[in-house]
Amino acid sequence: MAHLQGPVPLGDDHYVQRPFEHELLRELMADRWVLLLGPRQHGKTSALVRLQTELSENGVPAAIVDLQAAPAPQSYAEFAAWVGSEVRRQLATADQPNNDSEDIGVLLGAALPPGNTPAVILVDEASNIPDTRWRNAFYGQLRAISSRRATARPEDAAARLRFVFAGTFRYESLIDAANSPFNVCERIDTDDLTVDDVCALTCQILGNENAPLSQPIFEEVGGQPFLVQKLLSKLQGCEEMQAALGAEITKLRTGESDHIIDLFRKMLSEPSLAAIGARMVRDGVAPVEAADPDFRYMQVLGLARRAGANLVFRNQLYARIAATSPQLGGMAPAPTLAPMFPVSIDAFNNVQNAELREIAWAGHKGAIAAYRAGSNRLALAGFGGSLEAMLLDLLMRLPNGALAPIVAQANITLRGGERTNNPATWNLVNLIKAAPHAGGGQGFDPPQALREWRNLIHPAVAQRNYRPDHELEPEARAAANLHEILLRDLP
């Protein structure tokens, strides 16, 4: 049956070996360090497990250090000791005494079996060291091992150790460039399944008589291993497989899958990545700018692939979701609800006040959840509340005395308790009027429509031009799109 959680077990008949795995072994046998990059749920860990077995069977000791499995150490020394103990345990040198050094090179050297046989350390989830100082120390010490290789004696750890660093990350900015071992690595990218691979998996899981189903699966999700197996697993035991496949693909296109939510959240949380995605939606392609690492990272994430000099979406499924998502400017009709995705709080970094940043992010997150639950009025209120927090932050940044001229220029009428020099006392109408004058001429111009839609949460306002909640779905889509524009343009 299809395997959807964790690495595929050794000996599983449904495992498909791909070209990048052969390339990994070739580079290691040629005495090179390797940087293995690829999307999540793309088979990296499964490949490392098999590589470890193959190396060990050929007399090359190998250990997997999964940084995602690291405990919560209290110091870098504890973290380094854990790495060393993992290697000792897997290389059967656990009987050697622990070394108190904080240098990972020393600890790994002590964990190696005697002799001058090469040994391979496979570092999985290589970006998963949250503490920046620890991360720089760890990778700086590994880079020092590489620097000693040329003069090391054959029995020295520097001469014996080979590394594979695997994950889904920006290697050029993960650590300080001077400390980076990634600069001395051969880069290998994971590859998708081929159409023949998908056909073979379909026959293995569903039987040879269902081989024709492999074509619509490949046309929709390409060779993305997780999605291929997810669809095949949903078809097992179904009587009407063609109809079941259509239903599962329709469900995926709504963006409800955790895989898709995680992927699009990562893109939408970084404005530079979202801009590339929006361009692919608008023009079908995004011309690659070779010096811009964002274009490489879109491929590492798995959202995009190269097509000549351009980036395009990795498969038809991602392209359809993007084209129907208002957060990317998508205007194509959605199968049911338009795909909308939460973003990380980092997407709101232009909001300078920490409390208002959290309020704006929470309002947006609530709006997305409400829309997904079919509560369009609540969604509109959430988008409007997020907007108000952004505008308030923008105006509160201005120096003393700057607000009075804006009040005059924007023809703002302050009433009741609204005070000229305290925008926190202003209503949303006045915040919207003032914002273009506070934006430094950068085209930041919040539309009044968001204010009107936000007010639909008030029963008396909603009743004046009453529409049932479900009929406000187009407004909610439009509000999501406007919110993304304003967040992008916020000075």
Over the stretch 47-67, which tens digit does the pLDDT of each residue have? 999 999 999 999 999 999 999
**Which of 136, 166, 189 is where one domain is finished?**
189
Residue 438 included in any domain: yes
pLDDT interval class at 2 (50, 70, 90): low
Is the pLDDT reported for residue 185 higher than 60?
A: yes
Residues 155, 90 within the same domain: yes
The pLDDT value given to residue 315: 97
Would you say 201 and 226 are in contact if contact means Cβ atoms under 8 Å apart? Answer: no
Total number of domains constituting the chain: 4
The pLDDT value given to residue 456: 79
The pLDDT value given to residue 8: 75
pLDDT interval class at 6 (50, 70, 90): low
Higher local confidence (pLDDT), 285 or 94: 285
**Which of 189, 212, 233 is where one domain is finished?**
189
Is the pLDDT reported for residue 356 higher than 60?
A: yes
Residues 52, 136 within the same domain: yes
Residue 12 included in any domain: no
Is the pLDDT reported for residue 1 higher than 60?
A: no
- Which pLDDT tens digit goes with each residue over 291-323? 899 999 999 999 999 999 999 999 999 999 999
The pLDDT value given to residue 336: 76
Is the pLDDT reported for residue 441 higher than 70?
A: no
- Which pLDDT tens digit goes with each residue over 251-297? 999 888 999 999 999 999 999 999 999 999 999 999 999 889 999 99
The pLDDT value given to residue 38: 96
Residues 267, 319 within the same domain: yes
Which CATH number do you get for residue 157? 3.40.50.300
Looking at this protein, which amino acid is placed at residue 206?
L
Is the pLDDT reported for residue 222 higher than 90?
A: yes
Residues 50, 116 within the same domain: yes
Residues 161, 202 within the same domain: no
Residues 47, 116 within the same domain: yes
Is the pLDDT reported for residue 78 higher than 90?
A: yes
- What CA–CA distance (Å, rounded) separates 467 from 28? 65
The pLDDT value given to residue 341: 95
Residues 200, 219 within the same domain: yes
The pLDDT value given to residue 40: 92
| Mean of all residue pLDDT scores within the chain | 91
Is the pLDDT reported for residue 105 higher than 70?
A: yes
Is the pLDDT reported for residue 439 higher than 80?
A: no
Would you say 323 and 332 are in contact if contact means Cβ atoms under 8 Å apart? Answer: yes
Higher local confidence (pLDDT), 6 or 153: 153
Would you say 202 and 174 are in contact if contact means Cβ atoms under 8 Å apart? Answer: no
- Which residues, including other chains, have CB under 8 Å from residue 154's CB and lie 6 or more apart? 116, 160
pLDDT interval class at 363 (50, 70, 90): very high
pLDDT interval class at 98 (50, 70, 90): low
The pLDDT value given to residue 206: 94
Strands 186-189 and 34-37: parallel
Which runs of consecutive H residues, i.e. helices, occur in 149-207? 157-160, 195-206
Residue 432 included in any domain: yes
Higher local confidence (pLDDT), 449 or 222: 222
Secondary structure class of 36 (helix, strand, coil): strand
Residue 37 included in any domain: yes
Is the pLDDT reported for residue 177 higher than 90?
A: no
Is the pLDDT reported for residue 404 higher than 70?
A: yes
Is the pLDDT reported for residue 461 higher than 90?
A: no
Q: What is the DSSP string of 323-342?
A: HH-GGGT--SPPSSSPP---
Secondary structure class of 188 (helix, strand, coil): strand
Residue 70 included in any domain: yes
Residues 319, 199 within the same domain: no
pLDDT interval class at 205 (50, 70, 90): very high
pLDDT interval class at 143 (50, 70, 90): very high
Residues 38, 154 within the same domain: yes
Secondary structure class of 67 (helix, strand, coil): helix
- What CA–CA distance (Å, rounded) separates 300 from 69? 22
Residue 376 included in any domain: no
The pLDDT value given to residue 440: 64
Higher local confidence (pLDDT), 368 or 458: 368
Residue 338 included in any domain: no
Residues 84, 173 within the same domain: yes
Is the pLDDT reported for residue 12 higher than 80?
A: no
The pLDDT value given to residue 448: 78
- What CA–CA distance (Å, rounded) separates 297 from 412? 45
Residues 177, 78 within the same domain: yes
- What CA–CA distance (Å, rounded) separates 187 from 27? 10
Which CATH number do you get for residue 285? 1.10.10
Residues 83, 127 within the same domain: yes
Is the pLDDT reported for residue 415 higher than 60?
A: yes
Residue 357 included in any domain: no
The pLDDT value given to residue 4: 53
Is the pLDDT reported for residue 199 higher than 70?
A: yes
**Which of 205, 220, 253 is where one domain is finished?**
253
The pLDDT value given to residue 198: 96
Would you say 482 and 447 are in contact if contact means Cβ atoms under 8 Å apart? Answer: yes
| Enclosing domain of residue 241 | 195-253
Q: What percent of the chain has pLDDT over 70?
A: 96
Give which of 110, 204, 195, 109 is closest to 148, Cα–Cα.
Answer: 109
pLDDT interval class at 451 (50, 70, 90): confident
Q: What is the mean pLDDT of residues 344-357?
A: 95
The pLDDT value given to residue 453: 81
Note the pTM of the prediction, 2 decimals: 0.89
